[in-house]
């Protein structure tokens, strides 16, 4: 991880910023002897940027006599280890002689310096922020570490120094997130062929060791290993479906009463397969199920079952494709596959698609890659100006994966029309490789 150091005289608010950036994660105290013994280090995140942060606040209880000497050693050691140093002054107190001294030491270092005017909440501190220019270290970034104001500006200031390589991001985080058994649920209307498909996938042997009929109304799961056509074995966890419980004929009728029951499995799944009966096509209830799955943020695949008895397959396929794209316009291009639960045809392709979809669903793009695309996107199609006042869009960051969730920062973003949000979401999905997984976008206006 890139390293960021926070330096400055005592009581300017270094530890407050440190704590804010490190959050609830435990800060590790570095106990190496020498000048580094007072520093605290922790893993920090700021609007999607990740870095290691060093806080040099440890000497603050020292007596005034020895303070400048120790501070200098401490500051220089931290700054030399860092990719960027945040030099913090107190905008309420103004520039003090000790600040000027620190500025002098820093000007002799090669590490880039970002000047922070902290405690700058409210308007009253504007003149002190201006005064900080006199330190000769560039534009001060006004911040309130305590109230969390100005973090977007801080992000902007340090981003050039701490942005990671895209390759690095991909390797680390994707593997971590998309590992473990693929959690798969199969849902659909009664008689779509769910039980038949599950029986075919698992084989008779599996079902014998499976859960007894009637013992469960809650979630159950079966773990198994798929011997994929690529020669690898993939663990899969098949989450509760009515089909797994289908044993006795009497029970059968009861089970088939409830689609909602099967939908409970959705909560525990990563990827959901919505099974359709090709002899019936896509109906309103299928769209409702699909919509529910997407609302839950799960990756969705549509499979047309009973393809072995489908009449006029090409026409049928086109018809379902069109109806899907119209009925679920927010995720145009959902994976649509054809299978026969009866013969087993298409099942491998279905499981391949399920794995690929999980990858997209778990994917993280770097803030840099995201914002390079974002800048082009808003240039090509600038946001509107309701009431003559332009909405200013500043940054986009991926806050979460599974499902991919993004946060948009800017001014008056709360007035952004739904059509423009859709434009951005579609762009993210198409151009940043998220395919047809549901993508979430929330907007946030910075507080400063
Ligand atoms: P569920 O309610 O979704 O679990 O559906 P079932 O698995 O009970 O299947 C309903 C009916 O469709 C049964 O009569 C199955 O034999 C039949 N069926 C399921 N899959 C296929 C298929 O791929 N091809 C054909 N021709 N029939 C199927």
Domains and CATH numbers, the chain: 3-163 (3.40.50.300), 175-362 (3.40.50.300), 367-444 (3.30.300.20)
Residue 57 assigned as binding residue = yes
pLDDT at position 28 is 44
Spacing, Cα 191 to ligand 1 middle (Å): 6
Residue 205: burial class (beta carbons within 10 Å; 0-12, 13-18, 19+): exposed
Please say whether the dihedral angle defined by the alpha carbons of residues 100, 104, 107 and 113, taken in this order, is positive or negative. Answer: negative
CA distance 369 to 437: 19
Q: Which residue has the tokens 């997130």?
A: 177
Residue 58 is labelled as binding a ligand:
yes
User: What is the pTM (predicted TM-score) of this model?
Assistant: 0.63
Sheet holding 141-142, edge to edge: 28-29, 40-46, 49-55, 3-7, 84-90, 113-118, 141-142
Enclosing H/E stretch for 289: helix 284-295
Q: List, in sequence order, the alpha helices (H) in 238-283.
A: 242-245, 249-255, 259-263
Which has the closest alpha carbon to 47: 142, 163, 146?
A: 163
Give the residue-averaged pLDDT of 60-65. Answer: 58
Residue 371 annotated in ligand binding: no
Q: Please tell me the predicted confidence (pLDDT) of residue 368.
A: 80
Average pLDDT of the residues in 319-338: 92
* Cβ–Cβ < 8 Å for 84, 161: yes
Kindly report the number of other CB atoms within 10 A of residue 369's CB atom: 17
Q: Specify the residue for token string 């609302």.
A: 295
How does residue 174 score in pLDDT terms, banded at 50, 70 and 90? very low
Complex ipTM tops 0.90 = yes
Ligand 1 centroid, distance to 306 Cα (angstroms)? 7
CA of 160 to the centre of ligand 1 (A): 57
Reported as a single tens digit per residue, the pLDDT across 92-109 is: 888 999 899 999 889 888
Tokens read off for 387: 């009431």
Pocket of ligand 1, beta carbon within 6 A: 188, 190-196, 243, 256, 305-306, 308-309, 340-342
CA distances from 382 to 190, 230, 246 (A): 47, 45, 55
């Amino acid at each position: 991880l890139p390293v960021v150091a926070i330096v400055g005289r005592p009581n300017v608010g270094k530890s407050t910023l440190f704590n804010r950036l490190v959050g609830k994660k435990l800060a590790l105290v570095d106990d190496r002897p020498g000048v580094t013994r007072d520093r605290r280090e922790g893993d920090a995140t700021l609007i999607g940027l990740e870095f290691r942060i060093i806080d040099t606040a440890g000497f603050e209880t020292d007596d005034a006599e020895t303070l400048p000497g120790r501070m200098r050693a401490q500051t220089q050691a931290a700054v030399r280890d860092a990719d960027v140093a945040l030099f913090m002054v107190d905008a309420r107190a103004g520039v003090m002689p000790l600040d000027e001294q620190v500025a002098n030491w820093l000007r002799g270092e090669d590490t880039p310096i970002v000047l922070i005017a902290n405690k700058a909440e409210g308007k009253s501190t504007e003149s002190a922020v201006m005064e900080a220019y006199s330190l000769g270290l560039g534009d001060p970034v006004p911040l309130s570490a305590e109230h969390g104001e100005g973090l977007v500006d801080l992000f902007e200031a340090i981003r050039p120094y701490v942005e990671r390589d895209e390759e690095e991001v991909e390797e680390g985080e994707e593997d971590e997130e998309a590992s473990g058994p693929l959690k798969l649920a199969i849902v659909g209307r009664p008689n779509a062929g769910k039980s038949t498909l599950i029986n075919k996938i698992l084989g008779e042997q599996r079902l014998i060791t499976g859960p007894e009929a009637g013992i469960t109304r809650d979630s159950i799961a079966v773990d198994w290993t798929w011997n994929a056509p690529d020669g690898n074995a993939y663990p899969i966890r098949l989450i509760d479906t009515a089909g797994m419980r289908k044993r006795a004929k009497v029970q059968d009728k009861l089970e088939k009463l409830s689609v909602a029951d099967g939908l409970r499995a959705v909560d525990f799944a990563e990827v959901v397969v919505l099974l359709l009966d090709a002899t019936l096509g896509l109906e309103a209830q299928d769209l409702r199920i699909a919509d529910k799955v997407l609302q839950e943020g799960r990756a969705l695949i549509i499979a047309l079952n009973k393809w072995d008895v489908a009449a006029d397959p090409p026409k049928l396929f086109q018809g379902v494709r069109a109806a899907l794209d119209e009925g679920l316009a927010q995720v145009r291009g959902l994976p649509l596959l054809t299978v026969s639960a009866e013969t087993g045809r298409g099942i491998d392709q279905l499981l391949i698609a399920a794995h690929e979809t999980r990858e997209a669903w778990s994917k993280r793009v770097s803030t840099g890659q995201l914002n390079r695309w974002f800048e082009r996107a808003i240039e090509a199609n600038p946001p509107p100006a309701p009431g003559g006042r332009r909405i200013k869009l500043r940054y986009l960051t991926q806050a979460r994966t599974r499902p991919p969730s993004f946060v948009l920062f800017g001014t008056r973003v709360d007035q952004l029309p739904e059509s423009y949000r859709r434009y951005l979401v579609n762009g993210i999905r198409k151009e940043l490789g998220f395919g047809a997984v549901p993508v979430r976008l929330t907007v946030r206006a910075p507080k400063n």
